[in-house]
Amino acid sequence: MFKNIPFKRVEWITSGFLITTGILTLTAVPWYLWTYGWDWFLFGVFMFFYLATGLSITVGYHRLFSHKAFKAKWPVKMFVLLFGAAAFENAALWWSSEHRKHHKHVDTDDDPYDISKGFFWAHVGWLIFKLKPEPPLDNVADLRKDQMVMWQYKWVHLISFSVSFGVPTLIGYLYALQTGNLSPIGGALGGFLIPGVARVVLVQHATFCINSLCHMIGSRPYSTSHSARDSWIAAIFTMGEGYHNYHHEFQWDYRNGVKAWQLDPSKWIIWSLSKVGLTSDLKMVARERILLAEARETNRQLDDQISLFKNAVADSANELKEQTLASLESASDRLGEINNELQTAIQEKIKLSRSNLRGLRQEMSLMMDQIESTGKLVLA
């Protein structure tokens, strides 16, 4: 039954932690709520720690350290290093190294959480079955120069247990003593289980979903050259990280959700901190580059639909013709929207060189002509 499991590669400490916290969340947490009842204060502490640790991963580990998408003053760095450690996703140095490998080698064997190996591997298998010995952290020389990052790297395990479990347990204990709503043991146990254990499990699996689900489910409006996808659902519980197709195309942008309607709390936090001088040098991709990426990907999808139509004609498949016409109409509408957005960008005086503007207009004109000629061919 277990002969195909590579036990020699199992990371037993990591596996034991993931399994134990998962079991406690599914068993001990419901038992606690049944025994002691619901408590709004503990839920508030849970929400604070969920947001603090989740944002420390997205704002700190990911956008600040891995991608250098902005600069931060020491109070911000200290916060994300402390609460990032409390997510139990290892040190920022190690996390950034693995993530940079992912972007450089996405969808290949050198990608640490390669989705082509399946959902389980990308989600959690890569943590359970680690390579031994561990590959060197040879792509984070810039972070090694940061004293705060190296301090966290040295003490990450002590910080993790203290902030993630020790502080919530102490808060629950003191709350029980102060209010009498719970026994001291009940308060301490509640702090340990709810804002401690359960929160760790939820934050971790939210992060893991970016590595797994966001490479399987969603749209690819900017590029289909890799498996990364945009998912507004994932963005809800990952602080805006769900717009993963955009992120893989423009990884150094401090934003993931670039549209006005896209939910990206991490972006809002970074921007807000910049207004009080705690963050600076926020990197942004120019709007015209984003629109060009969308236009080119839409054009590529249009070419695919035209090829599909030609095959449908050859096979006399009426149903496929109707589907193709609908896809062509959708592509035409999207190109029209992109054209309108580009005109708006021009009116807002976004700096476009004349050559880029002239080439872009020609490209849009060719796309629209292609749609029109294909439509005539279908109707004929």
Task: Check residues 209 and 367 and name the one with the higher pLDDT.
Answer: 209
Does 238 have pLDDT greater than 70?
Answer: yes
Q: For residues 300 and 321, give the distance between their C-alpha atoms in angstroms, rounded to a whole number.
A: 19
In contact, 224 and 51? CB cutoff 8 Å: no
Q: For residues 260 and 288, give the distance between their C-alpha atoms in angstroms, rounded to a whole number.
A: 16
Exposure of 323 by Cβ count < 10 A (0-12 exposed, 13-18 middle, 19+ buried)? Answer: middle
371 lies in which domain range? Answer: 287-379
| 256/312 same-domain check | no
The mean predicted confidence, pLDDT, of the chain is 88
Q: For residues 301 and 84, give the distance between their C-alpha atoms in angstroms, rounded to a whole number.
A: 39
pLDDT band at 1 (very low <50, low <70, confident <90, very high): very low
Q: Which residues contact 261 (CB under 8 A, 6 or more apart)?
A: none
pLDDT band at 368 (very low <50, low <70, confident <90, very high): low
Q: For residues 57 and 48, give the distance between their C-alpha atoms in angstroms, rounded to a whole number.
A: 14
| 95/204 same-domain check | yes
Does 65 have pLDDT greater than 90?
Answer: yes
| 54/188 same-domain check | yes
| 136/63 same-domain check | yes
Quote the radius of gyration of the chain (alpha carbons, Å). Answer: 25
| 252/296 same-domain check | no
| 219/296 same-domain check | no
| 373/329 same-domain check | yes
Q: Which residues contact 207 (CB under 8 A, 6 or more apart)?
A: 57, 87, 89, 238
Query: What is the pLDDT, as a whole number, of residue 277?
Result: 97
Exposure of 103 by Cβ count < 10 A (0-12 exposed, 13-18 middle, 19+ buried)? Answer: middle
pLDDT band at 355 (very low <50, low <70, confident <90, very high): low
| 374/319 same-domain check | yes
Residue 2 lies in a domain: no
Asked which of 27-31, 297-301, 375-379 is least confident by mean pLDDT, the reply is: 375-379
Q: Is the link from the previous residue into 133 a cis peptide, with omega within 30 of 0?
A: yes
> What would you measure as the largest C-alpha separation in the chain, in angstroms?
82
| DSSP 3-state of 135 | coil
pTM higher than the cut 0.85: no
Does 353 have pLDDT greater than 60?
Answer: no
| 104/170 same-domain check | yes
Nearest CA among 162, 175, 153, 198 for reference residue 50: 198
| 102/230 same-domain check | yes
N-term to C-term CA, the chain: 61
Nearest CA among 35, 32, 34, 36 for reference residue 181: 36
CATH number, domain at 330? 1.10.132
Look at the chain and report how many structural domains it folds into: 2
| 134/223 same-domain check | yes
Q: For residues 77 and 65, give the distance between their C-alpha atoms in angstroms, rounded to a whole number.
A: 9
pLDDT band at 276 (very low <50, low <70, confident <90, very high): very high
Residue owning tokens 């996808």? 229
Tens digit of each residue's pLDDT (9 = 90 or more) over 282-315: 999 998 899 888 888 888 877 767 776 666 665 5
Domain boundary among 280, 305, 330: 280
Q: For residues 63 and 243, give the distance between their C-alpha atoms in angstroms, rounded to a whole number.
A: 13
Report, as an integer, the average pLDDT of 128-147: 88
Structure tokens at 243: 């717009």
